[in-house]
Structure 1
Amino acid sequence: MLTPSLFEDAQSQSHLLAFERWLVDRRASGFLRQPGSVQVYRDMWGAFTAWCLGQSPAVTLASLDGLDLQAFQAARFGEKSPDLSLSPRYALRFMRLIDRVLQHHAADAGVPVNLAASQWLSDHPEVRYAEASRADPLPEFLSVYEAKTLIAFLSSARPRPGVSASRRDGQAALSWQDVRNRVSVATQLGAGLTPGDVRGLVLASPVVRGGRVRDRPWKLSVPGDGNSAARETPVAPWAGELLHHWLQVRYEAQIEGDWLFPATRTGKPWSKDGQYRAARSVLEEAGIDSADGGSFRLRHTFALRQLRRGTEPAQVARWLGVEPEVMARYDRVVVGPADVV
């Protein structure tokens, strides 16, 4: 537990203030309502602060690095396993707490985020997955490089000012089915849709009114399908540009019917198998392995993108059309700030 003598200098005050401000925000957000939980976190942070100030030189929130965390993990603080180090589960709780306080402190003080705790967890999977069930596999998702590569490939389907003649020729050679296939994949990555969601979209689904850019869809109204209720989900700007282009292509091709992504010019609905094969073909053309995780990886990537940007899990769940409890599966992946696309 924290003691008054522990906070007699500026360094100790900085540790305490960072924790207290994080705690105030957590309580204001409706978290940590139980006094017992608050005390547990106080004791954990007190142990961490005592260790930091006991080093020579003292470890500050700015100077904390992976070697410090490794030494702390091996020290005799908190709950201990037989070798006197922190157990993997308790180490996970500690590192998550440290990471969250560091993130909050950076946002509050306007300083760069210290990523030492999130990086330490990434480097120690035995701790990172300490609470994982063997029967609950991690969601498959695209790496940052894969996502950027795929976005560049998908976006090449729409005209842009200043592109080379060869690029314009390539765009002109695309059939309306080619454009449909790429844009449908874009809605999975850029709006978090399932394959069934894609097939169920109608012409009224893209929402333009209220957006920042004229005529560019910025969200989608996803119809209910019997398994989930109707919902709305935001569309990434790059995917919105592609949707806008597809609507033009669809109109110029004189495609009938109300489906946003029909199977034929006469407006027949897209079959499950047809849409699956189209998505797989697009991924392969983009150089993305289509066998591992399928197009559901795109939806998972959307979810992780939103969570890594700080969106509340409950909000992301509403966009995905799932129950809030489902978001727990991403906890083992989102350990701290990361590049997002």
Structure 2
Amino acid sequence: MVTPSLFDTDPVGSPHETAFQEWLAARSAAGTLREASSMAVYRDMWNGFTSWCLGQSPRVTLESLSPADLDAFKAARYGIKSSDLSLSPRHALRLVRLIDHVLRHRCAMHDLPPSTAAADWLLAHPEIRYAEAASADPPPEFLSASEAKHLILFLSSARPRPGASSEGRGQPLTWQQLRNHAAVGLQLGAGLAPGDVRALAIDAPTTAGGRVADRPWKIAVPGNGNLPPRETPIAPWAAELLKHWLQVRAELGIPGEQLFPSTRTGKPWGKESHYRCARELLSQAGLDSAEGGSFRLRHTFALRQLRRGTSVEQVARWLGLEVEAMNKYTRVLIAPADVV
């Protein structure tokens, strides 16, 4: 049964409908939306939103949509008893997520400035944002913008800066310390999980085709039985740190197939040793915490990429996650900030 419209305006052919169709086609092509029943639910939800937008005076366009408009939309739907038209907190969350996904896809597809109206609205309504959050599924821990900038400066201090004098640099880092800095840098600057870092092969970084000669710009992460292999971009500051680590490793002649070995003989890095090294480094940076561990860095990468305007589907591919698993991030979008 088709959901009846709240208004008489026909959404077919409107820019709203075009944006939805483009998003739906992209999801279908990526294989992340296959069920006809799910498509029908999304279409009904979007048609209700579109009809409301086109029924306003003046009309609410995708460019002009604001958190205040979403407040008005929620108010127009509040208290309606019909189960398919009411806007309960859980239904409101699903609908605003849909609006956010469609708007972000539209902006990315047509090279438009990111639209954050839906994300901003969710930030202002925690009762909606956490409508599906259970006590066993708390929001992910992540670094604030100031903490992320502080950590970037701390990690980047491990590599020599052009034109800087040798005085004031302090004691040079050991190769293990430099390895730790580069490994933690990839968690924050490329969104890698600890297991991803240990699994990286020596030839995982790609330098060819980058904007800066000899600087890695993406890295290949192998599959692990549960997830397929993938590639993810590296933030420039983390790429410079990785480049320095590769140079030092080559100078020392450290063998082995792993990008980050445990010993000078190339022995693979163990889980416990890696955990201790990452924890100690974060403590040295003043970011020691019993909550989140180094996974906070991966979560920070994901949240800041989403806030930057990167599509949920793209960030999911970089992280090696199913799109549905991104809900924990879209619930907790942070304030605008430059990507790390």
Q: Which residue of 1 aligns with 2:126?
A: 125
Q: Which has the higher contact order (CA 8 A, sep 6+)?
A: 2
What residue identity is the alignment partner of 1:41?
Answer: W
Equivalent residue of 2:239, what SS?
helix
- Quote how far apart the aligned CAs of 1:148 are: 1.9
- Structure 1 unaligned blocks of 5 or more: 8-12
Give a deviation string over 1:123-144, Cα, whole Å, max 9, x none: 1110112123332222222222
Q: How does 1:213-228 map to 2 (within 5 A)?
A: 213-226=212-225, 228=227
Q: Which residue of 1 aligns with 2:326?
A: 327
Q: Which residue of 2 aligns with 1:10?
A: none
- Structure 2 unaligned blocks of 5 or more: none
Across the aligned residues of Structure 1 and Structure 2, the Cα RMSD in angstroms comes to 3.7
Q: Which residue of 1 aligns with 2:52?
A: 47
Q: How does 1:19-38 map to 2 (within 5 A)?
A: 19-30=16-27, 34=39, 37-38=42-43
- Quote how far apart the aligned CAs of 1:79 are: 4.0
CA distance in 2, matches of 1:111, 1:196: 36
TM-score, reference length from structure 2 = 0.78
Q: How does 1:298-337 map to 2 (within 5 A)?
A: 298-334=297-333
CA distance in 2, matches of 1:191, 1:79: 45
CA distance in 2, matches of 1:141, 1:176: 28
- Quote how far apart the aligned CAs of 1:105 are: 7.0
Give a deviation string over 1:26-48, Cα, whole Å, max 9, x none: 24324586456424421232134
What residue identity is the alignment partner of 2:184?
Answer: V
User: Which one has the largest radius of gyration?
Assistant: 1
Give a deviation string over 1:172-191, Cα, whole Å, max 9, x none: 52222211110010111222
User: Does residue 1:269 correspond to 2:274, yes or no?
Assistant: no
Q: Which residue of 2 aligns with 1:192?
A: 191
Check 1:299–1:30 CA distance in 2 against 1; reply closer, same or farther (3 A cut).
Answer: closer
Give a deviation string over 1:93-150, Cα, whole Å, max 9, x none: 4434554566567678987656443222101110112123332222222222222221
Contact 2:261 2:269 in 1 (8 A): yes
Q: How does 1:111-260 map to 2 (within 5 A)?
A: 115-163=116-164, 166-167=167-168, 169-170=169-170, 173-226=172-225, 228-260=227-259
Q: How does 1:49-88 map to 2 (within 5 A)?
A: 49-50=54-55, 52-53=56-57, 58=58, 60-61=60-61, 65-76=66-77, 79=80, 86-88=87-89
What residue identity is the alignment partner of 1:44?
Answer: F
Q: Which residue of 2 aligns with 1:279?
A: 278
CA distance in 1, matches of 2:314, 2:102: 22
What residue identity is the alignment partner of 1:25?
Answer: E
TM-score, reference length from structure 1 = 0.78
Check 1:92–1:268 CA distance in 2 against 1; reply closer, same or farther (3 A cut).
Answer: closer
